């Protein structure tokens, strides 16, 4: 039954991932979404439907535009695949329920934000603010508790302090992203932040080793690491906290 449930949501997850690629491409450029046909970023040729099938078209085209042979960014299949995995994971973890739908929405918002942050080094208000509001309202409706509002405020406030103390190392976009994380994770938002920072230390150390003090001038997008911390917390946060508490019991 689990396998059937997972298979049922693979194609919708891939389709959502394809849409998130449109969002990630157009929102930073303030282009309308869904009103014009997708086109090659290099030659401007419109993309036919058979060249826009999630994952399959990228493989068939070998990662290049059919018209001009320009490379297609790896971001496209990555977003499609990751989105499908997270949508399926949300349904398997929380069931085909309102909670599962909210978890899938939360994950999809994070994927879009992370993809944009990687390419443009911004966390767009047009996505993060509405997503945080929808998540907070939805979570409160599904599980009435002030924890989700407190978590959003605590995550925002906690990262705001860090950003004020180290303005070069933390952007306000990341601070606003914590509104979304807290609305979904409640007090577990601090675990997500810890895991995100922990994940971010790996590339930071690599850059420091490679460039020395010059690494301080290199901007590392933080949203993808917050995505990692948030997703791990969403699916296994309580288990991790129980395990940690058990070490000192």
Least confident of 10-14, 29-33, 110-114, 146-150: 29-33
pLDDT of residue 1: 60
Task: Record the pTM.
Answer: 0.91
> In sequence order, what DSSP letters do the residues of the chain get, joined into one string?
-HHHHHHHHHHHHHHHHHHHHHHHHHTTTTPPSSSS--B-TTT-PBPPGGG-STTHHHHHTTTB-TTT-PBPPTHHHHHHHHHHHHHHHHHHHH-SSHHHHHHHHHHHHHHHHHHHHHHHS---HHHHHHHHHHHHHHHHHHS--THHHHHHHHHHHHHHHHHHH-TTT--HHHHHHHHHHHHHHGGGHHHHHHHHHHHHHHHHHHHHHHHGGGGGGS----HHHHHHHHHHHHHHHHHHHHHHHHHT-
pLDDT single digits (tens) 176-204: 999 999 999 999 999 999 999 898 888 77
């Amino acid at each position: 039954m689990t396998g059937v449930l997972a298979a049922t949501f693979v194609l919708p997850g891939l389709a959502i991932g394809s849409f998130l690629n449109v969002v990630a491409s157009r929102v930073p450029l303030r282009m309308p979404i869904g009103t014009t046909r997708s086109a090659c970023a290099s030659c401007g040729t419109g993309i036919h439907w058979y060249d826009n099938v999630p994952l399959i078209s990228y493989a068939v085209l070998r990662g290049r535009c059919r018209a001009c042979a320009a490379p297609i960014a790896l971001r496209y299949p990555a977003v499609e695949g990751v989105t499908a995995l997270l949508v399926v994971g949300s349904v398997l973890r929380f069931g085909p329920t309102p909670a599962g739908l909210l978890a899938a929405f939360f994950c999809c918002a994070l994927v879009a934000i992370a993809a944009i942050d990687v390419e443009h080094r911004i966390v767009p208000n047009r996505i993060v603010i509405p997503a945080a509001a929808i998540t907070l309202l939805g979570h409160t409706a599904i599980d009435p508790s002030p924890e989700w509002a407190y978590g959003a405020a605590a995550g925002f406030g906690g990262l705001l302090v860090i950003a004020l103390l180290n303005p070069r190392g933390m952007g306000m976009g990341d601070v606003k992203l914590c509104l979304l994380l807290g609305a979904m994770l409640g007090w577990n938002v601090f675990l997500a932040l810890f895991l995100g920072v922990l994940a971010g230390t790996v590339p930071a150390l690599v850059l420091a080793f490679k460039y020395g003090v010059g690494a301080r001038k290199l901007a590392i997008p933080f949203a993808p690491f917050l995505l990692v911390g948030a997703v791990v917390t969403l699916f296994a946060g309580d288990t991790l906290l129980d395990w940690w508490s058990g070490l000192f019991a």
